[in-house]
Amino acid sequence: MRFIKTILFCFVCLFISIADIKAQDIHFKRLSIEDGMSECSIYAEMQDKE
């Protein structure tokens, strides 16, 4: 019984996190070396408070 509750809890958490991700308004633009990038490939992106 405890195993079923744990699995159900995981599914609920997953559903909430997916719903939160879809609610975000995300915009992308192209960045290049001319814009100040040190390399031409990006593997991760982070945003500060601004």
pLDDT over threshold 60, residue 23? no
The reported pLDDT for the residue numbered 45 is 74
Average pLDDT for 16-37: 70
Nearest to 47 by CA among 21, 22, 28, 33: 28
pTM of the model: 0.38
Nearest to 25 by CA among 2, 47, 3: 47
